[in-house]
Structures are given as C-alpha cells and as structure tokens.
Amino acid sequence: MTKNSKSFHLIIDLISIVVLIILDRITKNLAVTHLKDKPAYPIINKVFVLSYLENRGAAFGIFQNRQIFFLIVSVVFVVGIGYFLLKLPLEKKYNVAEAVLVFLAAGAFGNMIDRAMQNYVVDFFYFELIDFPVFNVADIYVTLSCIALFILIVFVYKEEDLEFLSFKKKNKDEQI
C-alpha cells in the first residue's frame, strides 16, 4: 500500500474520523462530569458560557424526541459520505474536500453515538450574548464542514471537477 493509493487514503480518513470522534466523546464526558446539574460556567461573562443540556432533537433542538428517525438519517448520511470518499479522485485539488468529508462524518457519528446510547445528545457550548442554541464539538464539525462544502462546490470546483459523482457511464465517444 503506497501513500498515493486509495486504500491508504481511506485508512487515514478512518483513523482521522476515529480521533475526531474520541475528541468529541472526551468533551461530552467532561461536560457530563463537570457541568451536569450545575449552574452555567461563564468563560466570557454574558458572552460565552458552558451550560449542560440534553438535546433530544436535531440541530438547535428542532424535531424533539424523534431518535429513531435521527438514527436512520444519520446512517444514510454517513453511508453517503463513505460513498463520496470512495469516489473522490486522488488528486491534490480534492484534499480539502476529503478533509471536509472526514469532519462531516466524525460529527455525524459523534452525535449518532449519543442518540444510540442515551437517546439524547450532550450539548454544552452556549453563546449567551446572541442567545445562540447550545451545541457541542460534533455540531462544530458538521456546521463548519457544511459551510466549507458549500464554498467548495459553489466557488472552487467547476462542474467537470464533480463529474466523478455521476452515476451514469460515459459512452465510447465521451471516453476519447
């Protein structure tokens, strides 16, 4: 297995996803240990606090108590990311997209683990100044990855750069 082989890249992607999930798990465990059943802990007074919350919904608390639905969507989402990682060409221009997909998968898995194990996601970051919904490290992965993916698709990659995603086979005339 060479450094430029697809197998090598996929193994590095998998290791990266696992490391990012571990980081998410550590932060959530710290939140449970140090924040649960305690008052919010201000980092920057009236701006940013650590505040424990058990989120039984999706992003920003929407769709409360639909855990089976979220698990199914998460599995489909992660399978889709896996498909894209498999199809992604081994060219330098796709390195950022590969990293973005790794963070996206880690975020999806991180929250999926919470939902599967305890029927809620542990959230603990809160921007009090703007009353932004409470969130966690996995949410940061997902949110920033979605923004980065949008920027890549809209501003960086051209249509022909994304042809590898096509399900249709090229006919003989197009292969020349």
Active site (catalytic) residues: 123, 139
Can you tell me the distance from the alpha carbon of 155 to that of 4, in angstroms, rounded to the nearest whole number? 27
CB atoms within 10 A of CB 143: 15
Closest alpha carbon to 124 in 14, 72, 70, 48: 48
Can you tell me the distance from the alpha carbon of 129 to that of 82, in angstroms, rounded to the nearest whole number? 38
Which amino acid makes up residue 146? C
Report CA dihedral (154, 155, 156, 162) to the nearest 10 degrees: 20
**Residue 169 main-chain phi, psi, to 5 deg:** -85, 145
Strand partners for 49: 42, 126
Tokens of 127: 């921007």
Would strands 41-44 and 48-55 be described as parallel, antiparallel, or unpaired? Answer: antiparallel
